[in-house]
Amino acid sequence: MTKKFWQLTPAERQALLVDQGFLSVDQAQFWSAQQPLPETVLTGLSENVIGQISLPVGVVPGVVIAGTPRTIPLATEEPSVVAAINHGFKMLDQGRDLTIIANAHALTGQIALQNVSAYAAQELQGNLSRLMAIGYAAHPTLKSHGGRIERITVGAGAGDDSLQLLVTVTPGEAMGANIMNDILEAVAPAAAEVTGGAVLFAVLTNDGRDSVTQVQAALPLANLQTPRQSGRTVGQRIAAIADWAQQDSRRAVTHNKGIMNGVAALALATGNDTRAVNAAAHAYAASSGTYRGLSTWHVQDDTLVGTITLPIPVGTVGGATKVLPSAQQALTLLGRPTVLQLQAIAASVGLAANLAALHALVTDGIQRGHMRLQYGSLAVRVGATAAEIAPLAAQLAAAGRPSEALAQQLLAQLRAKEKYHGHRD
């Protein structure tokens, strides 16, 4: 009997991905024998370094997004995240039920000016071309890397004698934070000179509304059925709980946390800024003035239609994506996507995670699948070896209400049994 992907050992999964062409032999060797980061890399990434931590990297294989096969790497410590996303993509025909509706990659920065003259806004409007030229001079390679300063606009400030400049940049394949801040800090003094005011701050905003991606799912209701509920019933219940997240912030924040389980895990695996990704998503969820779910679901005839809309400020070059060997390997495993493709993949992962979570909530409940995967974590906590984790987890699942004390007891019994059989052999 052929094993399923999740039943394979890490080495067997690596070998299969090599056979399928998603990994080279050298890349598989990297994942199987990762070395600690050298001190030069550690001290280049952070301060007061005393060591480093490691996280598991799981993959969701066999996904097709916008017609391109992808193996998706996810860095997370939570056992149920990878399994849930895998289940979500299965309900979505491995991603074939997804359509990319909108995708943009840009960011905006703010220059805040105080104590400006009464004619400051008019003076700035007359100097926008000069300010844009100063911005390009601060980053002369921007255009050659596929980026540009899209616009500079004048807006109201936070007081009667203040105003702000909003600078919007498309940063090419980079996330763009450093590019943006370089441009802002060059333009700010010139803007202050024009207005006769003083610069209060010049920095990017992490609200992310210029990097919004929208992905839509349309899957047959039959894909949702369980032994106890029809696909239509499940679909209607998913639509109802998603609508609840549009009206109740308590539900919405948990709804969105489930989405970000997947988005942040992909961002972390690829060396992107998870804090920026999370900040942008939650700000966007509240952009209407009420915090809402980032996805919606509704039943249309025999189809469940879901839409996710969120900013995903990521990059495929620069920063930790270039410095961390694991980030480079993760991007290679993904097939070296462009930044827009990476955003689409991340949004698709978020929608798959969301679908799986809602499906679990309206059918068996969240704990059944979640706890089944937590039993392996409990086995590790009490000292089980790699060979002991699966049998011990199975016994813990059968126990119904496992505890650490019970896990230790069952592990001792398992080892005593193994020792007895060893002596007999």
Which residue in the list 273, 282, 359, 388 is annotated as catalytic?
273
Which residue in the list 90, 298, 322, 370 is annotated as catalytic?
370
Q: So what's the pLDDT on residue 425?
A: 55
Q: So what's the pLDDT on residue 181?
A: 96
d(CA 281, CA 312): 7
d(CA 168, CA 150): 5
Tens digits of pLDDT across the chain (425 residues): 578 898 888 899 999 999 999 999 999 999 988 778 888 888 888 899 888 888 999 999 999 999 999 999 999 988 789 999 999 999 999 999 999 999 999 999 999 999 998 899 999 999 999 999 999 999 999 999 899 999 999 999 998 899 999 999 999 999 999 999 999 999 999 999 999 999 999 999 999 999 899 999 999 999 999 999 999 999 999 999 999 999 999 999 999 999 999 999 999 999 999 999 999 999 999 999 999 999 999 999 999 999 999 999 999 998 888 889 999 999 999 999 999 999 999 999 999 999 999 999 999 876 665 556 667 777 878 888 877 877 887 787 777 667 888 888 888 888 887 765 665 55
Torsions phi, psi for 143 (to 5 deg): -65, -40
Q: So what's the pLDDT on residue 395?
A: 81
Q: Give the fold, CATH level 3, of 107-204.
A: Alpha-Beta Plaits (3.30.70)
- Whether 78 is a known active-site residue: answer yes
Closest-CA residue to 191 (of 124, 282, 141): 124
- Whether 370 is a known active-site residue: answer yes
Token pair 């100063």 is found at 134
Q: So what's the pLDDT on residue 162?
A: 95
Predicted TM-score (pTM) of this structure: 0.88
Tokens of 36: 């600690």
Question: CB under 8 Å to 321, separation ≥6 — which residues?
Answer: 270, 271, 272, 315, 327, 328, 331
Strands 198-204 and 57-65: unpaired
d(CA 295, CA 307): 5
Which residue in the list 145, 257, 298, 322 is annotated as catalytic?
257
Q: Which amino acid is at 241?
A: I
Buried b (16+ CB within 10 A) or exposed e, 375-408: bbebbbebebeeebbebbbebbeeeeebeeeebe
Tell me: domain 34-99+212-364, CATH 3.90.770.10, correct?
yes
Which residue in the list 78, 93, 182, 243 is annotated as catalytic?
78
Output the CA–CA distances (angstroms, integers) from residue 88 to 69, 83, 225, in the order listed.
Answer: 16, 9, 13
Q: So what's the pLDDT on residue 410?
A: 84
End-to-end CA distance of the chain: 27
Domain boundaries, the chain: 34-99+212-364, 107-204, 370-424
Q: Tell the burial category of 361 from Cβ atoms under 10 Å away from its Cβ (0-12, 13-18, 19+).
A: middle
- What CATH number belongs to 370-424? 1.10.8
